[in-house]
Amino acid sequence: MIPFNKPHLTGKEVHYMYDAVHTGKLSGNGKYTKYCQEYFQQRYGFYKCLLTTSCTDALEMAALLLDIQPGDEVIMPSFTFVSTANAFVLRGANIVFADSCADHPNMDADLIEALITPKTRAIVPVHYAGMACDMDKIMDIAQRHGLFVVEDAAQAVESYHTDRSGIRRPLGSIGHLAAFSFHETKNIIAGEGGMLVINDERFAKRAEIIWEKGTNRTAFWRGEVDKYGWVDVGSSFLPSEVTAAFLWAQLEALENIQQKRLEIWQQYYHTLARVEACGIALRPVLPSWATNNAHIFYLICRDTAMRAQWIEKLKAKGINAVFHYISLHDSPFYRDKHGDRPLPHSDTFTDTLLRLPLFYGLEEEDVAKICGVLEEVI
């Protein structure tokens, strides 16, 4: 049996969780939370990081910080997870879905400008499979129209974008705000978990307040105010120290984890050249400005039937391959609100994208076996 995903443990998770438990500081914003936040700030130059209970919650914090109001419009890809949209829908926003590129699930930056109206407030690029969207174009458009950019970097830890001047920057450091995920399916995990990145310092103070349930408790602990109280909207966005301790163990092993995942990804890529050569599926295309963080290995199948056949064949051999996403513009919840503006590339990825198993513990012979099953069709 080869599962689709198997969470990787570095071995130190339980040790640090034990330490957090026996220190007696279990609620959020303790030692391990600070370790993790500082790690990200230092390694990637993020202005400020706040751990959250999920990437969903980080996106919700972003929507609150941008003060999204009912009727505001937010532009994002349709080919993404529901939380990208729900975080803004919860504030009353109307979601304006942009199509994917023809050759990549990422949002096509050339389509964005035509979707902007006086009600547009933000653009939310999703770095699919950790591969950077065209951030040069997106940041230009945002600046020209006075819009905010929230990077949905759920899948994008340890991945980079090189801008037109040749400057290489980590994903999550480019937009005004960014959201990361540490769900068990990600490269770096905490079971459930996420992080908000604040790159525009104007949002830093209010972010702390929204994070702490709308109170100025963080300022109180720093001695800046003499009592704390209700000063804003907010929620309980911070994870427990146990969750942060788990994440800390993962971060210590980040480079090792990334190296192993990249090896697996490369093995898939090279082996499946034969499948691509037969014209039955395409391998991922890495945009010229992007790096690959080996979060997902996918194929774009010739058609839905091809994908279904492969999923069946793999399943018969005990291998679990899956597809995603069902385009949000065509979901039961948003179909009527979206209307009939076609998003053909998004539809194509919904119908034909196949995700293959990719996790730290996947062995070379497992990848060979999976590729062998795929090649049987040739």
Using CB under 8 A as the binding rule, the residues of this chain from 356 to 375 that contact its own copies are none
DSSP 8-state symbol, 80: S
Q: How far apart are CA 195 and CA 181, in angstroms?
A: 7
Selected binder of its own copies within 94, 162, 235, 309 (CB under 8 A): 235
Using CB under 8 A as the binding rule, the residues of this chain from 293 to 352 that contact its own copies are 326, 328, 331-334
DSSP 8-state symbol, 27: S
DSSP 8-state symbol, 298: E
Q: Is 221 in the site for its own copies (CB under 8 A)?
A: no
Q: Is 223 in the site for its own copies (CB under 8 A)?
A: no
Using CB under 8 A as the binding rule, the residues of this chain from 54 to 93 that contact its own copies are 54-57, 60, 70, 81-83, 85-87, 89-90, 92
DSSP 166-208: S-EEETTSSSSEEEEE--TTSSS--SS-EEEEE-SGGGHHHHH
CB of 64 to its own copies, least distance (A): 8
Q: Residue 323 corresponds to which tokens in the numbers above?
A: 């597809």
Q: Is 287 in the site for its own copies (CB under 8 A)?
A: no
Between 82 and 111, CB nearer to its own copies: 82
Between 165 and 227, CB nearer to its own copies: 227
- The answer to whether residues 31 and 21 touch, using CB atoms and an 8 Å cutoff, is no
CB of 148 to its own copies, least distance (A): 20
Q: Is 190 in the site for its own copies (CB under 8 A)?
A: yes
Q: Is 232 in the site for its own copies (CB under 8 A)?
A: yes
Q: Residue 107 corresponds to which tokens in the numbers above?
A: 């949002």
Q: Is 50 in the site for its own copies (CB under 8 A)?
A: no
Q: Where are the alpha helices (DSSP H) in the chain?
A: 13-23, 31-44, 55-65, 82-89, 135-145, 204-211, 217-221, 241-252, 254-271, 273-277, 304-316, 335-338, 344-352, 364-375
Q: Is 6 in the site for its own copies (CB under 8 A)?
A: yes
Between 78 and 106, CB nearer to its own copies: 78
By CB atoms closer than 10 A (0-12, 13-18, 19+), residue 117 is exposed
CB of 339 to its own copies, least distance (A): 16
Q: How far apart are CA 215 and CA 228, in angstroms?
A: 6
Q: Is 239 in the site for its own copies (CB under 8 A)?
A: yes
The residues binding its own copies (CB under 8 A) are 6-7, 9, 13-14, 17-18, 21-22, 24-28, 53-57, 60, 70, 81-83, 85-87, 89-90, 92, 183-185, 189-193, 213-215, 227, 229-236, 238-243, 246, 326, 328, 331-334
